Structure 1
Amino acid sequence: MIFLENEHIKASFSTKGAELQSLKNKKTDKEYMWSGDAGYWGKFSPILFPIVGGLKNNTYFLGGVAYELPRHGFARDHEFEILKLNESEVIFNFQQNDQTLKAYPFEFSLSIHYELSGAELRCNYIVKNTGNVPLLFSIGGHPAFATPTENDLNYTDYFLEFNHDSELTYHKIKQDLIDERTETIKLERNRLPLNHELFYDDALVFKGLKSDRISLKNIKNPRGLHFSFTDFPFFGIWGAKNANFLCLEPWYGIADGINHNQNLEEKEGIIELEPLKEWNHHWKVEPF
C-alpha cells in the first residue's frame, strides 16, 4: 500500500490497478471510500482502460481480426510501477506486456498521477502512445464513495447535487450494452434523491451532462464531498444492489451500443492518439 497525507486529508492506494482505496478527513477521521466488501462489490476505485464498459460479445474487431476484452478492460488487474512518490503525490505506471498484446495489440504507457492539494485529491490520467501506429483507447474512473447509515442515517437520506443540471437524461445498460432509448428525471433544486432501486438495472449513463461538479450530501448532517471533472463526455452513476455506496464515474469512452458493429475504430467515444503523442485529463474529490 502507498500512503499520502497532508494537514487536511490522507489517502492510500494499492499498486494493483493503481487503485485508490481510502480517503479520510483528518479532522474527523471519517472514511469516504467504500469498504470493498466483496459480498456486494469487492473493489474501491478501479481504473477503466483500454475500454470503458462492455463490448458486444466481449469482442472487438481491428483490421479484420477479432480480439476479446473483459468489461472495463485489464488495467485494474495488473500491477503498476511507482515512478514518483513523496508525501503529497504518487505516479503509478503500467505499459503493455506479452499478455496485454494478445488482447490489445497496441504499445502504450498509462500513468495515474494522484496528488493532494489542500483538502482535495486530484487524479490525473496520462496516456502516451509509445508505438508507431495510432493508439485507440478509452479510459475512465470508477471511484466508490461510502454512504454510511450509522446514527439514524439511511441511504434514502443521501442525494446528489448537480451544479448545472435541472434534469437528467440517461441511458440504461442492457446486458452490459447501452440501450439507445433514454429516460429523463426532473430534479428539484438540482438534486437527485438516492434510493437503491435506481441501480437495480445497472448504472445510469449520461452523454450530455452540463455539470462539471457533483456533490454527495445528506439531509441529516453536513458531511459530504464535492466531485469535480472537466470535459469528460460521458458519466456513469452506479451502486451495487442494496449496498451503501455510490460510484461517480467520469468516462472518456462508453460501452458498446446494442446495435454496434464491433469495429474498434468506430466505437463510440474511442480516442485516437497519434504515435509519440500524450493525452491527459483529471478529476478531483474534496471531502468535507
Structure 2
Amino acid sequence: MIELKNEQLKVQINPLGAEVHSVQYQGREYLWQGDSASWGRQAPNLFPIVGRLKDNVYRYKEQEYTLTQHGFARDMVFTVLSQTATQVCLQLQSNSTTRQRYPFEFDFRVTYQLQARQLQVRYAVKNSSEKATMLYSLGAHPGFRVPLTTAGEFETTYVSVSPAQVYGQVHLVGPHSDLAHLDRLDFTKAMALRHDLFVNDALILATAGQPTTVTLTEQASGHGLQVINHDAPYVALWSAYPAQDDFVCVESWWGLADSLTSDGQLVNKAAILRLAPGLTNHHQYEVAFF
C-alpha cells in the first residue's frame, strides 16, 4: 500500500486499480471503507468505459469485444512511476490482456497529490498508436462516508452544487442512459440526502463541461467535503439501493453508459472521447476536506 502524507492529510493508495483506500483529514476517516453487502469498492478509476455496454459487448472495425461495467482498469495492477511524500504517479499500459477486450494502444496515468487539505487527482490518457484514433471514456468513482461522525445521520447530510442552478439530468433505465428524455435536477438550494433518491441508480448531472463544485455537509458536526470538477461533462451522485449503507459517491465522468438506442458500434457510443495518434488528454478533479 502506498502512503502519502502532509500536515493535514494521510492517504493510502493500492496499486491494484490505482484505487484510494483511505483518506484521513486531521485524523478522521472520510473515505468509505467498503462492504460487500452493499458496495465492496471504495474509489475505483473507470477506464476505458463508464457504465455498462449493452450486453457487455461493442463492435469496432467489424470485430466484437466484451467489456464489463466500468472497464478493466479498476481490476489491473498499476506500476508506480514516481513517488514523493505527497505525490505518486501510477501507470497502466496496453498489453496482450487489454487488447483482447480493447484494441487500442494506450498509456493511462493517475497522479495523486496532496496540497494542504486537498487531494488532487490528475489523469493523463495517451494514444500510443501511430495510426488509429483512440476511443475511450473515463470516470472517477470515490465513495465518502455519510455520516462522518456519530453525531450525524444520512438524512441530515446535505448536498449542494455550485453554481446553484437547475441542471439537466440523464436518467438511467436499468443500466443504460436515456438520452431521449432528459429531465431537470434542481440544485438552486441544498438537498437533504435520502436513500430513496437512488432508487433508480445514480443521479447524473449534465454540466455541459462547466466547472462545478459538489459539497457534502454533515449538518450536526459541520464536517464535509467538496469535489471540485474542472471540465467533466457529467457528475453523478450514487449510493446503494435497496441495500442502504452509509456512503455517497460523487463521481466525475467523461463518458456515459450506453444509450437505450445504442447500435453497439464504439464509434457511435454516447459521449465517447476521441484522441488522435500520439496525443495525450488530461483530466482532473480535486477533493477538499473540512
Distance 1:207 1:149, change over 3 A: closer
Note if contact 2:139-2:255 (Cα within 8 Å) is conserved in structure 1. yes
Q: Structure 2 unaligned runs (5+)?
A: none
Match of 1:224 in 2: 224
Q: How does 1:247-262 map to 2 (within 5 A)?
A: 247-262=249-264
- Which one-letter code corresponds to 2:50 in the other structure? V
Rounded to whole Å, the distance in 1 between the matches of 2:152 and 2:285 is 28
- Which one-letter code corresponds to 1:167 in the other structure? V
Indicate yes or no: 2:156 matched with 1:157: yes
TM-score (norm 2): 0.94
Match of 1:196 in 2: 195
- Which one-letter code corresponds to 1:250 in the other structure? S
Rounded to whole Å, the distance in 2 between the matches of 1:137 and 1:76 is 15
Aligned mate of 1:101, from 99, 102, 106: 99
Secondary structure, counterpart of 1:103 in structure 2: coil
Indicate yes or no: 2:4 matched with 1:22: no
Q: How does 1:1-288 map to 2 (within 5 A)?
A: 1-26=1-26, 29-132=27-130, 133-148=132-147, 150-180=149-179, 181-187=181-187, 190-208=189-207, 212-241=212-241, 242-288=244-290
Rounded to whole Å, the distance in 1 between the matches of 2:218 and 2:194 is 12
Deviation of 1:139 (Å): 0.5
Note if contact 1:162-1:211 (Cα within 8 Å) is conserved in structure 2. no
Secondary structure, counterpart of 1:275 in structure 2: coil
- Which one-letter code corresponds to 1:33 in the other structure? L
Deviation of 1:134 (Å): 1.1
- Which one-letter code corresponds to 2:139 in the other structure? G
Note if contact 1:127-1:279 (Cα within 8 Å) is conserved in structure 2. yes
Deviation of 1:172 (Å): 2.1
Rounded to whole Å, the distance in 2 between the matches of 1:224 and 1:136 is 36
Note if contact 2:160-2:187 (Cα within 8 Å) is conserved in structure 1. no
Aligned residues: 285
Note if contact 1:218-1:224 (Cα within 8 Å) is conserved in structure 2. yes
Secondary structure, counterpart of 1:247 in structure 2: strand
- Which one-letter code corresponds to 1:82 in the other structure? V
Cα shift readout 1:105-128 (whole Å, capped 9, x = no counterpart): 111000000001111110001111
Rounded to whole Å, the distance in 2 between the matches of 1:148 and 1:155 is 5
Note if contact 1:128-1:276 (Cα within 8 Å) is conserved in structure 2. yes
Deviation of 1:150 (Å): 4.9
CA RMSD of aligned residues (A): 1.4
Note if contact 2:185-2:205 (Cα within 8 Å) is conserved in structure 1. no
Q: Structure 1 unaligned runs (5+)?
A: none
Distance 1:192 1:168, change over 3 A: farther
> Percent of counterpart pairs with the same letter?
32
Secondary structure, counterpart of 1:99 in structure 2: helix
Rounded to whole Å, the distance in 2 between the matches of 1:71 and 1:161 is 28
